[in-house]
């Protein structure tokens, strides 16, 4: 239970990080000179999934990337993967919450809860894979196209969010084993009133005989 809660919390925080990375445009910063020179010359550029920005002490101007068909493949693919990761976060969170033992629905069983947790964990892993591919491919593509100077805040948020989703999803899947609170037949015993001793439940004939005595 504690491991599942910890995994769900880590994945939820990771989902927030993925959303922040998707919504902001400080993925990579490009410049042909040093940082101070680029800032003075208003040539320090910042690029994200949705806009290209110019950063200077007195100006922060962004131009939206609206030409979808003319955009490079790495931007279009990163957009699609990050949007998919953001959309998968809500069903993943709901499935993990409904799989908690403290949440009870009508006609619920532990097997159903385990299935929900497994599906939620798998969805978190898919989110992590989408985020990792996007945050790795984007700076590589930007470097090949314009020359990469440094990573931006949004890229770090995407890395941390993807790592937390990967960690949380793995923990959720790993803790979904057999329920230790459910007794199995191999470890069950019955009590004989006449003898006052506990005898294994496996042989049904002996159990019937003790009941007749």
Domains of the chain: 1-26+68-177 (1.20.140.150)
**Mean pLDDT of the residues in the chain:** 78
Per-residue model confidence (pLDDT) at position 45 = 76
Contact 131, 167 (CB under 8 A): no
Between 46 and 10, the higher pLDDT residue: 10
Q: What is the pLDDT of residues 130-174, one digit of tens each?
A: 999 999 999 888 888 776 678 888 999 999 999 999 999 998 888
For range 71-78, the mean pLDDT: 89
Q: Tell me the DSSP string of 35-97.
A: HHHHHHTT-EEEE-SSEEEEEETTEEEEEE---TTTS-HHHHHHHHHHHHHHHHHHHHHHHHH
Question: Does residue 182 register a pLDDT over 60?
Answer: no
Residue 129: partners with Cβ closer than 8 Å, 6 or more residues away: 166
Q: What backbone torsions phi and psi does residue 108 show, to the nearest 5 degrees?
A: -90, 145
- Which pTM value belongs to this model? 0.74
Q: What is the pLDDT of residues 29-50, one digit of tens each?
A: 877 666 666 666 666 778 889 9
Per-residue model confidence (pLDDT) at position 32 = 64
């Amino acid at each position: 239970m504690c491991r599942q809660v910890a995994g769900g919390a880590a994945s939820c925080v990771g989902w927030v990080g993925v959303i922040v990375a998707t919504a902001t445009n400080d993925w990579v910063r490009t410049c042909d000179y040093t940082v101070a020179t680029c800032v003075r010359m208003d040539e320090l550029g910042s690029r994200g999934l949705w806009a290209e920005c110019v950063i200077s002490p007195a100006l922060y101007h962004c131009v939206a990337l609206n030409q979808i068909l003319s955009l490079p493949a790495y931007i279009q693919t990163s957009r699609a993967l990050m949007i998919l990761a953001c959309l998968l976060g809500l069903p993943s969170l709901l499935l993990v919450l409904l799989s908690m033992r403290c949440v009870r629905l009508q006609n619920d069983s532990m097997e159903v809860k385990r299935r929900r947790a497994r599906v939620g964990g798998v969805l978190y892993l898919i989110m992590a894979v989408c985020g990792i591919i996007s945050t790795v491919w984007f700076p590589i593509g930007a470097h090949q196209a314009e020359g990469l100077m440094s990573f931006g805040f949004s890229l770090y948020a995407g890395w941390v969010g993807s790592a937390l989703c990967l960690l949380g999803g793995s923990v959720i899947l790993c803790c979904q084993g057999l329920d230790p609170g459910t007794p199995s037949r191999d470890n069950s015993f019955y009590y004989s009133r006449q003898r006052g001793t506990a005898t294994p439940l496996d042989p049904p004939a002996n159990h019937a005989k003790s009941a007749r005595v």
